[in-house]
Amino acid sequence: MKKIHSAFVTSIDEARLSERRVLRSALAPRRVLVTGGAGFLGSHLCERLLSQGREVLCLDNLLTGRLSNIEHLTSDPKFTFVRQDVASPVAAEVDEIYNLACPASPRHYQADPIQTMKTNVLGALNLLELARQRGIKIFQASTSEVYGDPHVHPQPESYWGNVNPFGPRSCYDEGKRCAETLFFDFHAKHDVEIKIARIFNTYGPRMRPDDGRVVSNFIVQALQNEDITIYGDGSQTRSFCFVDDLIDGFLKLMASGRSLASPVNLGNPVEFTVLELAEQIIDLTGSRSKIVLHPLPVDDPRQRRPDISLAARELDWAPKVSLSDGLKQTIRYFDGLLTQQAHEHAETA
């Protein structure tokens, strides 16, 4: 009897949810929750959503994000900021969720690996629960790190990856893999509409100067004529996507039909060695920096390039900004930031 009763309650519950889903899909999503919204990618996403007339609720614990990234948005009545950790339950009257909360730089995500795992796993659970209760769509910022140090090149979404479960990168790599699993389980069990972007190395204005990632490190070093620190011999490869291209991909993926539940690679398929990147940045900044070699970090992937045929076919998406154009914009940003920091330092000295 108890069993029949609970099945009945579930079916009413689900009927209500699907009714809500139909109603919501008839309306353009108005209020969007962006977790990690004060970070590098999150702040660009908030800006783009506001420019489309959406209301944005930006949630961030400011671990690596900065209020200065969203300062220019705070005068917009459609923008709200709330300081919160996604590892605690999230309650919000929203119609769509983008989950970007998690430090992306190895320096920052390795500083407190247990916190990183909690952010990825508990954060995904809390937000999926919110999506389930409200019957709304949810986007996950996953990563090329789910492929680890890949044996298949370039990496298609069908590749299962080569990931160390207990190395220094595991809190991030396995945390993001677990989050993907949770997304699929909520989709299968509760019919939550999910969108998963596997993001490859992305760069641009609003990265932190102390972020520790390769593009920001090299540009800041070059602008200050300091040594450019190559880890290893610089022959490892990455494919660098400019932030504006990536945000286009996010919006197209979120707008895609319900049937597209597969993870989708988003990144620039043009591959460079780390040495080529250093040389290009020295050239574009006219720097007097010298290249110096440092030890390669443990488990540093040898090569990485996205196969973006799924995004091209399903989303009609491909990056448009060349590395040199994107680097020029990023160099201008860091140049302005370093000049401003030097003025502030001189004033307080």
State yes or no: residue 214 binds ligand UDP (CB under 6 A). yes
Selected binder of ligand UDP within 20, 226, 297, 338 (CB under 6 A): 297
φ/ψ of 274, rounded to 5, equals -65, -35
Return the ∠ at Cα 61 (arms to 255 and 268), rounded to 5°: 40
CA Rg value for the chain: 21
State yes or no: residue 40 binds ligand NAD (CB under 6 A). yes
Distance in angstroms (rounded) separating the CA atoms of residues 66 and 185? 33
State yes or no: residue 61 binds ligand NAD (CB under 6 A). yes
State yes or no: residue 141 binds ligand NAD (CB under 6 A). yes
CB of 293 to ligand NAD, least distance (A): 24
Return the ∠ at Cα 214 (arms to 211 and 219), rounded to 5°: 85
- Judge whether 31 and 95 are in contact, CB under 8 Å: yes
State yes or no: residue 238 binds ligand UDP (CB under 6 A). yes
CB of 170 to ligand NAD, least distance (A): 14
214's contact among ligand NAD, ligand UDP, none, with CB below 5 to 8 A by partner kind, is: ligand UDP
Helix axes of 323-348 and 214-223: crossing angle, nearest 10 degrees: 60
Residue 78 is encoded by which pair of tokens? 């459609």
CB of 165 to ligand UDP, least distance (A): 17
State yes or no: residue 41 binds ligand NAD (CB under 6 A). yes
Distance in angstroms (rounded) separating the CA atoms of residues 197 and 245? 13
- The three-class DSSP label of residue 97 is strand
Selected binder of ligand NAD within 32, 34, 73, 102 (CB under 6 A): 102
CB-based burial label for 125 (10 Å; 0-12, 13-18, 19+): middle
Q: Which stretch binds ligand NAD (CB under 6 A): 33-41, 147-155, 216-224, 302-310?
A: 33-41
Selected binder of ligand UDP within 29, 65, 103, 106 (CB under 6 A): 106
Give the ranges where the chain is alpha helix by DSSP (H).
Answer: 2-26, 40-51, 106-109, 113-134, 170-190, 214-223, 243-255, 274-285, 309-315, 323-348
Q: Which of residues 54-93 bind ligand UDP (CB under 6 A)?
A: none
φ/ψ of 196, rounded to 5, equals -120, 115
Active site (annotated) includes residue 172: yes
Name residues whose C-beta falls within 8 Å of residue 21's C-beta, 6 or more positions apart in sequence.
135, 136, 193
CB of 106 to ligand NAD, least distance (A): 11
Residue 138 is encoded by which pair of tokens? 């949810």
209: preceding bond cis by omega (within 30 degrees): no
State yes or no: residue 213 binds ligand UDP (CB under 6 A). yes
Q: Which stretch binds ligand NAD (CB under 6 A): 10-18, 35-43, 188-196, 268-276?
A: 35-43
b vs e for 304-334, b when ≥16 Cβ sit within 10 Å of the residue's Cβ? bbbbbebbeebbebebebebeebbeebbebb
Q: Which stretch binds ligand NAD (CB under 6 A): 98-106, 162-170, 253-261, 315-323?
A: 98-106
> Which member of 172, 203, 231, 333 is catalytic?
172
CB of 91 to ligand NAD, least distance (A): 15
Q: Which stretch binds ligand UDP (CB under 6 A): 31-39, 40-48, 226-234, 243-251?
A: 226-234
Q: Which stretch binds ligand NAD (CB under 6 A): 47-55, 197-205, 300-308, 335-343?
A: 197-205
State yes or no: residue 87 binds ligand NAD (CB under 6 A). yes
In the chain, DSSP finds a helix count (H) and a strand count (E) of 10, 13
State yes or no: residue 230 binds ligand UDP (CB under 6 A). yes
Which residues of the shown chain bind ligand UDP in the complex (CB under 6 A)? 106, 201, 213-214, 217, 229-231, 236, 238, 274, 297, 300
Which residues of the shown chain bind ligand NAD in the complex (CB under 6 A)? 35-36, 38-42, 60-65, 85-87, 100-104, 119, 123, 141, 143, 199, 201-202
Q: Which residues are identified as catalytic? A: 172
